[in-house]
Amino acid sequence: MQPALPQTPVTVLTGFLGSGKTTLLNRILTENHGQKYAVIVNEFGEVGIDNDLIVNADEEIFEMNNGCICCTVRGDLIRIIDGLMRRRDRFDAILVETTGLADPAPVAQTFFVDDDVRSKTKLDSILTVVDAKHLLGEIDTAQEAQEQLAFADTILINKTDLVSAEELGRVETRIRRINPTATIHQTQRCDIGLDKVLGRGAFDLDRILEVEPDFLDEFHEHEHDDLVSSIALVTKDPLDPVKFLPWLQMIIQRLGVDILRTKGIMAFKNDNDRFVVQAVHMLVEGDHQRPWKPDEERVSRLVFIGRNLPKDVLESGFLACRA
């Protein structure tokens, strides 16, 4: 008889839109900790961008774009893990980054209710990243954000540079009302010793059963905020940065309450580098990322995620920024 292989540890990385999950993932993938991770990334919206924002590490990265991970969990996630497990000598642990709008319960549940997955993997931790600046404005309307906190065993209160000590205290108090036991760390740009968040065996099934008594039942119901949708804008024509950047600023100032998240990879005229724009509500960042590769098609992709987004206005404004 073959000796049983050790179960591969899995970390589920969750947190509301724009909280800092990819920032943490990039840290994990670039720091020198001697571990190799297989990464499963799920994102909201039909045009994939997250995969392009993850550092080009030598890791195995799988994208799941077709819908929300918590809804497709029975199919895609199980299939990907099954495929990974056939190559389990190539990595030490698995990271699953969920979309900002995912309920982590069905994701975590996969590691218990599917026999094959359960025998080969072990849920190590549900790690939730929080945007200290935006949490209090979002938490009452976003059921998913509450679920992400309730299920966490470790919480990073990130973006502490954007709030006062008093605001930070209010954020922590609110989190404690939802989850009194998780370990909480405060971070800027998710700067944390990785030994504090990975491989700690922090997941506690008994506690989860207290939060969600039907956690191990086969069909776990969960709800989404159906008003949140995404709009993807794409063009192969180069954009003029002198038109595009002020337009984006203006749109985000005007619609920033409803636009939860903006992400884009832009191809500007006479510019050999990819330009990445990101915004969480009205806070915008933009920078060159890396040169376009010779065989890479120079396509600009911009995704807005939010409520009541005026598609026609966004589309015509975007196309008017062509050089």
Provide the binding-site residues for ligand GTP, judged by CB under 6 A: 15, 17-23, 50, 100, 158-159, 161-162, 188-189, 261, 278, 280, 285
Task: Supply the minimum distance, in Å, between the C-beta of residue 163 and ligand GTP.
Answer: 10
- Dist. CA 222–CA 301, nearest whole Å: 31
Q: From residue 317, how far is each of 262, 283, 320 by CA, in Å?
A: 15, 20, 5
Between 12 and 117, whose beta carbon lies closer to ligand GTP? 12
Task: Supply the minimum distance, in Å, between the C-beta of residue 217 and ligand GTP.
Answer: 28
CB neighbours of residue 296 within 10 Å: 10
Q: Which of 299, 69, 100, 253 is nearest to 80 (CA)?
A: 69
Task: Supply the minimum distance, in Å, between the C-beta of residue 315 and ligand GTP.
Answer: 21
b/e per residue, 186-218, with b = 16+ CB within 10 A? bbeebebeeeebbebebbeeeebeeebeebeee
Interhelix angle 104-113/143-151, rounded to 10 degrees, is 40
Task: Supply the minimum distance, in Å, between the C-beta of residue 323 and ligand GTP.
Answer: 25
- Dist. CA 125–CA 140, nearest whole Å: 25
Between 21 and 274, whose beta carbon lies closer to ligand GTP? 21
Task: Supply the minimum distance, in Å, between the C-beta of residue 86 and ligand GTP.
Answer: 28
Name the DSSP letter for residue 160: G
Between 50 and 124, whose beta carbon lies closer to ligand GTP? 50
Between 7 and 188, whose beta carbon lies closer to ligand GTP? 188
Between 114 and 147, whose beta carbon lies closer to ligand GTP? 147
- Dist. CA 318–CA 311, nearest whole Å: 10
Between 22 and 300, whose beta carbon lies closer to ligand GTP? 22
Query: 3-class SS at 309?
Result: coil
Task: Supply the minimum distance, in Å, between the C-beta of residue 22 and ligand GTP.
Answer: 3
Half-sphere exposure of 173 (CA within 13 A, CB side): 6
